[in-house]
Each structure stands twice: as C-alpha cells, then as structure tokens.
Structure 1
Amino acid sequence: MKRRNLILGGAAVASLGACAQQGKFRNYNGPAVTGIVVNKGERKMYLLNEDRVVQDHKIFLGFAPEGHKQIEGDGKTPEGLYRIDRRNPNSRFHLSLGISYPNAVDTRTARDMGKSPGGDIFIHGQRHPKRRDKDDWTWGCIAVSNDEIEKIYAMIIDGVPIAINA
C-alpha cells in the first residue's frame, strides 16, 4: 500500500510539475554573450557574440534620459564603458544584473560638484509584474520586460562589458 501511494504521489507531482509555468531561472545554450551595447536614443539593447547580434531588446531608461548620469537622483542612465559586476535573483524588479557604475571618473566628477554619484544601476525587469511599461521610468537603470530579463539573466555572465551610448 505504501509503495502504491508513493508511486501515485510521485506521478501526481511529476504531472503537476509539467503543467506549472516556467520559473524565472532559465537555461541558455546558445553562443556566449561577449558584449552588450545600449543605444539610449534608439531605446535598444544589443547582446553580442563578438561582432554579431545574438538578440536585441526594446528598453526603458531613467526618467530623465538625455545626457550622462552625474549625480545621485538625477534620473539619468549613465553613458560610457562598464561591466556587468553582480546579479540579484531577488530584485524588486524580478531579476537584475548590476552595472559597474560609478567608475573612478564618475565618482570624481560628482565629488567635484560636492555630490554623490549614486550607484545601484542595473538591467532589470518591470516595476509591475502584470502590466507592461510604456515610458522611461527608472532612476537610471535599463529596464526590459520580465520575460526578457529572464532570458538576458541566463545569457550574461559577470564581467561582460557593456557600452552605453547616447
């Protein structure tokens, strides 16, 4: 009797698992992403393998998208060369990949103005899980849909360079 219940219980769990939605952690078996290019003016992010585009994504930026981020709270998305330097699987915005802002120049520029450069700049998902974003809304981050950040999170490893252009 116990064996029968164990087998039936295991079958039930397996069939429920097959019906369950895919989790937020995905696998990726394609070409390695060796670089990221963000073109703020186009509102596009390109994931590259060497010089070939592997994927491109529509993006949302800081609520004041024109120009380079200089100080904390300015609502601008940084411009320049950075790296993906950390991962947050428990992000308030579904999943997120940290960008190495501020660098030494960013820090010096802000300090010369008597301000903080800010930090915690990420590529992340949506602010509302069920509602798609329509306009630039972040405090300087790069946002994509939750479905897209799941794919991106699986594709990118720490250390990948990111060029953020005007």
Structure 2
Amino acid sequence: MRCIFYLVAFALLTAPSGALAQSSTSLDADDGALHHIVGGKPATLFQKPDSTSRAYVELDFQEPVRVVEQAEDGWREVTTRDGARGFVRANALSNVWIRIDKREQVVQVLRGARLVRTFPADFGTNVFADKQRRGSLTAPDHWRTPEGRFFIVEKNSNSEFHRALVLNYPTAEDARRGLRNDLISRGEYEAITRADSARTRPPMDTALGGLIEIHGDGTGGTANWTHGCVALRNEAIDWLWLRTRVGTPVVIEP
C-alpha cells in the first residue's frame, strides 16, 4: 500500500493553489511525473526502449516510478524509488487514482495532483462509520463503506449493478484488527495477509465482510442504500471503467 500513500502525498504537496477545485479536464493528457505499475503483474525495466535489450529489474505491481520523459514506440523512461533508471512499456504505467469523500458523498478522479472529474455517489446504509465487520439484515448498522487506502483488484463487467470495480477489502490492516478482536481465525488472518502481500484478491467471506465495490445503478447521491459499496450512476461508472485498471489506487476518506 506504500505507493498509494506516495500518490496521495504527491497530490497534496505538489498541487498548485486551486488545482483540486477544478471540476473537469482531459484524461488524455499525461499530467504529472509520478506513476505506478498497473495491470495486475510486474513490469520489466529495460536498458533501452527495446524488449530485446538488457533487462535491469522487475518492477512490482503497484510500485511507484517517476517518468523522466516519453520515449519512442510506446515506451517511457522512468526512475524507481531505489534510483534505477531505464525504460518500461507505456501501457504498464498510470498516474490515475480515485479519491472518495464520504462526508461530501463524491467520487473524484485525479491524474497526479490534477482533479479530472467529480461524481456524486451513494454509500453504505451507515455512511457515518468505518466498516468493522460484515453487515446483515439483522445487523444493518454494519453495512458501512470502509475507510482507508485500497486499489482495484478486479473489474467485473457482469455485475448485477451494471459494472463493478472490486476493491481489495479486507486488507492486512483489517485482518490484524479482526484477529485482535476475535472476528477471524488465525488461518483467515494469514490468508488475508498473504493476499495483501501478493496484491491479489483477499478472502471476502469472513466476518470482516468483503465485495466492496465501486459500481453502477446509483442515484447520484440522493440515497445511501448499499451494503458498503460506492454506487455511481451508470454513465459515471461507464466513464470510470474506461479509465481505470487493476491496480488503480483508491483512497476512501471519512
């Protein structure tokens, strides 16, 4: 999750005055030098913009890199946080991330520090609290939207709610809390933390709950009705679907 913190810090520290107040700009422009590895798998750093050149190192999925300049034929020259410099395929990189504000009931899409779009959103029935455990018909108070740093771990085009971007909840932090509070077993804790380390889909059938998504069929912020998901109008999730990938960071704030 370090790269998500890195992206948020970059956005807050480098945003020019008023930048985060913009409502719309182009997502086609490649704004901002800080990117992260997306696509659900590592990317190779090469000596030259040529896959037959010397391979330096494998860059982990979600690892932050800084783009030095564009190169020819779909390559980018980058530097890593360890100081390595080389070339990666442009389609392995993104600087798009999502900020969700529960208090304001909005989903914001940013490229680096620049706000691109803002969408009104619906949240869990209990919008004021952080998610602690699975909700149910007998415990609707726990239909809450979790807070923290996540990423898109899966995209579901066959969702019952039009389309869905599945988040990697529960995280290792949630697993530690669940084990401490006797909500999950040691085996469930280890399974969640293994998935967190591997940046894969965690178990979503424990007492902590799961299947937290950004999905469609929303009302545009006029009602909070979900079981913890974030619901957008269908035209909004369609727009977001085309501009996000597995690995896109998502920050959910109270």
Which category describes the TM-score, using the shorter chain as reference length?
A: 0.7 to 0.9
CA distance in 1, matches of 2:220, 2:232: 9
Q: Would the alpha carbon gap of residues 157 and 68 (structure 1) be closer, same or farther in structure 2, given more than 3 Å must change? A: same
Q: 1:90 to 1:117 in 2, by over 3 A?
A: same
AA partner of residue 158 (structure 2): N
Residue 135 of structure 1 is matched in structure 2 by: 223
Question: Which residue in 2 is equivalent to 1:59?
Answer: 121
AA matched with 2:250: I
Runs of 4+ in 1 over 6 A off after TM superposition: none
Separation in 1 of the partners of 2:225 and 2:179?
Answer: 26
Deviation at 1:113, TM superposition (A): 2.9
* 2:173 aligned partner: 105
CA distance in 2, matches of 1:80, 1:148: 22
Q: Distance in 2 between matches of 1:44 and 1:29?
A: 19
Q: Which residue number corresponds to residue 83 of structure 1?
A: 151
* CA 1:80–1:29: 2 relative to 1, 3 Å: closer
Secondary structure of the structure 1 residue equivalent to 2:150: strand
In structure 1, what is the Cα distance between the partners aligned to 2:228 and 2:28?
30
Q: Larger Rg: 1 or 2? A: 1
Matched, 1:126 2:217: yes
| Higher strand fraction (1 or 2) | 2
Question: Which residue in the other structure is 1:154 paired with?
Answer: 242
**Per the alignment, do residues 68 and 132 of structure 1 end up closer, same or farther by CA in structure 2, a change over 3 Å counting?**
closer
Measured after TM superposition, the shift of residue 108 of structure 1 is: 2.3
Which of 1 and 2 has higher RCO (CA within 8 Å, sep 6+)? 1
1:135 Cα offset (Å): 0.5
Shift of 1:112: 3.0
Gaps of 5+ in 2: 1-25, 30-93, 136-141, 184-206
Give 1:123's aligned amino acid: I
- Count of residues paired in the alignment: 136
Pairwise CA distance, 1:78: 0.5
| SS at structure 1 position matched to 2:209 | coil
Q: Would you say the 8 A contact 1:33–1:47 is kept in 2?
A: no
What is the one-letter code of the residue matched to 2:119? Answer: H
TM-score, length-normalised on structure 1? 0.76
